[in-house]
Amino acid sequence: MKSTAKRACALYILVGLFFVGAVTLFIMLCVNSSKWAMQRTNEHIYTNGTLVTAGAVLDRNSKVLVETKNGERIYNQSSAIRKATLHILGDTSGFISTGVQNVYSDELVGYSFLNGVYLLEKYQGGNNVKLTIDADVCATALNVLGSNKGAVCAYNYKTGEIICMVSAPTYDPQSVPKDIMTNTEKYEGVYLNRVFSGVFTPGSTFKIVTAISAIENISNINQQKFNCNGKTTIGDGTVICNGTHGELSFKDALAHSCNCAFSEIAVQLGNEKLQTTANQLGFNKALKMNKTVVAKSTFNVSSASTLDLGWAGIGQYTTLVNPYHMMTILGAIANGGTYVKPYLVDGIETQLGIDIPTIKTKDGDNYMSENTANTIKDMLRYNVTSYYGDSKFPNLQMCGKTGTAELDNEKSHAWFVGFSENENCPYAIVVCVQNGGSGYDVAIPVANKVMQSIYKSVSKE
């Protein structure tokens, strides 16, 4: 009897182990099947680790940006478009990790848990992915950046559609330059999409954050007068201004980008309040755009001296800003305090013409009250009407702020961030020209040419 019980017990253990094994296998299959099928050694999909068999990627006007023909990945016939859309599409080897061909490889290959890559083999194509971008607008943006490095991104602040996203340096994916690995100066960070993965000293564009904090925390800020004689004593040091502005109101201080006034405002606010506003506006937090994790903007004045706080208030401390994040701040100002989440994929269609639902727009975070948003919006509009001039942005009723971010031993970064109040062109834009020089001289013309191109593009729709 005893040995029968022992044998039964052993049997139970075996059966138990079998079930544990089966369940573990099933879970692993669920979790990892896509990864296993999509490995770069899977020759149904990749040749020598390079993506070959997948659906096409199209722009908002159904222009084919990349597709598979006779077992080869072929990009758009225009080299200007190929270079301008490289960072959005990504390369076929997966170096540009945030590119659509990498992030949406399951969808492009047509992989599904039930069918595996069966459909891919049957139809030789996978799914087509349609984007929200206009490839011609992207080509314009890259063209106006010229030989500069930098980032340009624009999106519809009412719907969330990203219409333009360009990162430079770039290269032609159809004929990869031979010196891409050796010419480190020319191709510095070429595999990074600077819109998603870059962070830069913000310079005076950060005065928008300081101004928002002042609107929310200093009740008489609009009655205050500031006096600029070209420099001001802050703590145990001196902050130098870009000019000698004389007596200024709060809004004129922003329009003239007065360093004296804004470093004094930062000190009035104190470390804690300015830090709270920055955190509320999404600093020190990694944003996500669908599946793409965006580099964090960082702001930390917890241990800053009074002088450092003054510099922080004008965007010249240790602060670093990501262009995509900055665009969401402008989107929130344009949209009553809460930004609409930007998105890049408009739709996915199978080879049988069936639409696969995609996650589109959802409300992003609430950055500020509607009141604050409207107040800062009026100030950004005043910057253009009173100082930059509407003639810099014909027909656009532009609101915005420039930045000339000073760097140690390097030419300044030229910034412009803003949005159009023209109802027919509800787009926000961020331009950062790395080591470009003056925001006013360099970034404004770039922003205007891209915005005019967007206006033309959406007027046709």
Q: In the complex, which residues of this chain contact Zn ion (CB under 5 A)? A: 228, 241, 245, 258, 260
Of 230 and 389, CB closest to Zn ion: 230
CB 416, min distance to Zn ion, A:
20
d(CA 250, CA 433): 28
CB of 249 to Zn ion, least distance (A): 13
Q: Could you count the other beta carbons within 10 Å of the beta carbon of residue 378?
A: 12
Rounded least distance, CB 382 to Zn ion, Å: 17
Q: CB of 255: closest distance to Zn ion in angstroms?
A: 11
Output 125 or 203, the one with its CB closest to Zn ion.
203
For Zn ion, the closer CB: 99 or 315:
315
Instruction: Report the residue number, 258 or 281, with the smaller CB distance to Zn ion.
Output: 258
Compare residues 119 and 258 and give the one whose CB is closer to Zn ion.
Answer: 258
The nearest distance, CB 259 to Zn ion, in angstroms, is 6
User: Cβ of residue 390: shortest distance to Zn ion, in angstroms?
Assistant: 23
Residue 181 sits at the vertex; the CA angle it makes with 175 and 187, to the nearest 5 degrees, is 80
Minimum CB distance to Zn ion, residue 228 (Å): 3
Nearer to Zn ion, 130 or 245 (CB): 245
Closer Cβ to Zn ion, 183 or 229, answer by number:
229
